[in-house]
């Protein structure tokens, strides 16, 4: 559902080791689970996945690990347009910032990178003298697959879709 296709992820274990952070066995499992995830994880899913490797891992250990990684700015916390209620999702920070595209129809989350996003951040910094530490941009709409499945332009309701090569209009 929420695939992540950005391959330039930081190595969490390496970053923590370089910073002299103690890594317990359970913390290592949680971190490896986040690192290996092919989608954005919420805390409950992270706990469930980590428990597949160690049944003794508890919710408090998961939340403490998440808080540590957030504090060290190694993971991002996302709400992803609240497609699944008020859940928060976590992903390893990437070397290049990206935009999350959230489909309101199927719930799919895509990651999009473009030099224009980097240019925008540079422009903000230069024009406003603002030092950017965190960027988060989410765009909600309909994904290409959902637009292609619409039978008519009216059903899709998205003018931009109707001008594409998958148009049913």
pLDDT above 50: residue 169: no
Total domain count for the chain?
Answer: 2
pLDDT above 70: residue 1: no
pLDDT above 80: residue 5: no
Contact 70, 89 (CB under 8 A): no
Percent of the chain topping pLDDT 70: 79
φ and ψ at residue 43, rounded to 5 degrees: -60, -40
Write out the two tokens for 65: 């690990």
Task: For 30-61, write each residue's pLDDT tens digit.
Answer: 999 999 998 888 999 999 999 999 999 999 99
Per mean pLDDT, which range of 20-34, 58-72, 127-141 is the poorest? 127-141
Q: Are residues 24 and 41 in the same domain?
A: yes
Q: Are residues 46 and 111 in the same domain?
A: no
Q: Are residues 85 and 18 in the same domain?
A: yes
Per mean pLDDT, which range of 49-53, 102-106, 131-135, 159-163 is the poorest? 159-163
Decide which of 40, 61, 94 is a domain's last residue.
94
Nearest to 135, CA basis, from 116, 161, 109? 116
* Residues near 127 by beta carbon (within 8 Å), at least 6 away in sequence: none
Q: Are residues 74 and 143 in the same domain?
A: no
Q: Tokens 């030099």 appear where?
A: 115
Contact 80, 138 (CB under 8 A): yes
Decide which of 76, 94, 112 is a domain's last residue.
94
- DSSP letter string over 82-148? GTTTT--EEEEPBSS--EEEEETTT--EEEE--HHHHHHHHHHHHHH---------EEEE--HHHHH
Under the banding of pLDDT at 50, 70 and 90, the label for residue 160 is low
Phi-psi region at 107: left, alpha or beta (left = phi > 0; alpha = psi -120 to 50): left
Q: d(Cα 113, Cα 97) in Å, to the nearest integer?
A: 7
Task: For 55-106, write each residue's pLDDT tens digit.
Answer: 999 999 999 999 999 999 899 888 876 666 667 888 888 878 889 998 888 8
Q: Are residues 47 and 73 in the same domain?
A: yes
Instruction: Tell me the residue range of the domain where 50 lies.
Output: 1-94
Q: What is the pLDDT of residue 109?
A: 86
């Amino acid at each position: 559902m929420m695939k992540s296709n950005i391959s330039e992820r930081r190595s969490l274990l390496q970053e923590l080791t370089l910073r002299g952070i103690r890594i317990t066995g359970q913390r290592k499992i949680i971190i490896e689970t986040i690192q290996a995830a092919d989608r954005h994880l919420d805390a409950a899913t992270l706990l469930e996945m980590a428990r597949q490797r160690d049944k003794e891992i508890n919710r408090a250990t998961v939340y403490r690990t998440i808080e540590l990684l957030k504090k060290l700015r190694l993971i991002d916390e996302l709400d992803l347009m609240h497609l699944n209620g008020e859940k928060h999702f976590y992903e390893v920070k990437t070397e290049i910032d990206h935009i999350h595209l959230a489909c309101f129809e199927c719930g799919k989350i895509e990651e999009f990178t473009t030099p224009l996003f980097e240019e925008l951040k540079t422009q903000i910094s230069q024009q406003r003298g603002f030092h950017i530490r965190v960027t988060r941009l989410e765009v909600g709409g309909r994904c290409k697959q959902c637009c292609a499945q619409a039978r008519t332009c009216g059903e899709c309701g998205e003018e931009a879709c109707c001008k594409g090569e998958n148009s049913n209009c």
